[in-house]
Structure 1
Amino acid sequence: MSVKRPNPAQWLWYAVGGKLPDRYREWVLHDATAPTWLVRHVIRRLVFMAPILAALYLVLAVMMNFDLTIVLVGLGLGVYAGMYYSLIFSTHSVDSRVTRHGYPDQYASQVRKALKQAERDRYNATWRNGGATSR
């Protein structure tokens, strides 16, 4: 059975921090533990920042007629600072998101760690310990 994905409107709600219905619990866990979990986190943060950046651009560049270069540099620095802090707290943020959907505290981190260890064990069994040797 495949994991049920939320529709685009539900995903937008999820991206800005909302809780999805319980039927999407498994998808939330997959979202937090897939190999691309950090990329997904960055995309969610960019979606969260987009309306704020658009409003600031509208006010500063269009309504107040500030120099476009200064506005774009300022917005770029805002994106940089926002992404910097978002990435610093990405593990905590994703773990909190998973906990909000009914899983134990730090469950996503534990699952990611277990998946990474299983991959490392598989690699070692193939290439280090039991694999073909070249002599």
Structure 2
Amino acid sequence: MSVKRPNPAQWLWYAVGGKLPDRYREWVLHDATVPTWLIRHVLRRLVVIVPILAVLFLVLRVWLQFDLMIVLIGLGLGVYAGLYYSLIFCTHSVDSRVTRHGYPDQYASQVRKALKEAERERYNATWRNGDATS
């Protein structure tokens, strides 16, 4: 059985912090625990940041006619700061998102840890002759 994905409008709502209907509960857990969960988190943050940057660009460059280089540097620093703080709190943010969809606290982190440990055991069994030393 495959996991049911939200449509684009629902995904946008999810990206800005909204709660999806219960039928997407498994997808939310999948989204928070796949190996690319951090990339997905950054993309969700960019979906929030890009419209704000576009409005700021229009106001600063087009309406107020600031120098293009100053506007681009300012917007670049804004992206840097936004992603920096987003990455600092990424595990808490993703765990909160999963908890909002009905899973226990820190469940996504526990699942990611278990998946990583299973992968490590599989690797050690294959390539280390069962020796699980790190």
TM-score (norm 1): 0.95
What is the aligned partner in structure 2 of residue 100 from structure 1?
Answer: 100
One-letter identity of the residue aligned with 2:116: K
What is the aligned partner in structure 2 of residue 112 from structure 1?
Answer: 112
User: What does 1:62-81 correspond to in 2, within 5 Å?
Assistant: 62-81=62-81
SS at match of 2:5: coil
Rounded Cα–Cα distance in structure 1 between residues aligned with 2:128 and 2:76 = 46
Aligned residues: 131
Residues 24-82 of structure 1: per-residue CA shift (max 9 Å, x gap)? 00000000000000000000000010111111111100100000110000000000000
Q: Percent identity?
A: 85
Structure 1 residue 129: Cα displacement: 2.4
What is the aligned partner in structure 1 of residue 125 from structure 2?
Answer: 125
Runs of 4 or more consecutive aligned structure 1 residues displaced over 6 Å after TM superposition: none
TM-score (norm 2): 0.96
Rounded Cα–Cα distance in structure 1 between residues aligned with 2:112 and 2:76 = 32
* Structure 2 alignment gaps of length 5 or more: none
* Structure 1 alignment gaps of length 5 or more: none
One-letter identity of the residue aligned with 2:45: R
Rounded Cα–Cα distance in structure 1 between residues aligned with 2:125 and 2:67 = 60
What is the aligned partner in structure 2 of residue 18 from structure 1?
Answer: 18
SS at match of 1:56: helix
Rounded Cα–Cα distance in structure 1 between residues aligned with 2:117 and 2:129 = 15
Rounded Cα–Cα distance in structure 2 between residues aligned with 1:63 and 1:27 = 42
User: What does 1:28-107 correspond to in 2, within 5 Å?
Assistant: 28-107=28-107
Rounded Cα–Cα distance in structure 1 between residues aligned with 2:85 and 2:55 = 21
One-letter identity of the residue aligned with 1:122: R
Residues 7-35 of structure 1: per-residue CA shift (max 9 Å, x gap)? 00000000000000000000000000000
Rounded Cα–Cα distance in structure 2 between residues aligned with 1:19 and 1:53 = 25
Rounded Cα–Cα distance in structure 2 between residues aligned with 1:130 and 1:123 = 9
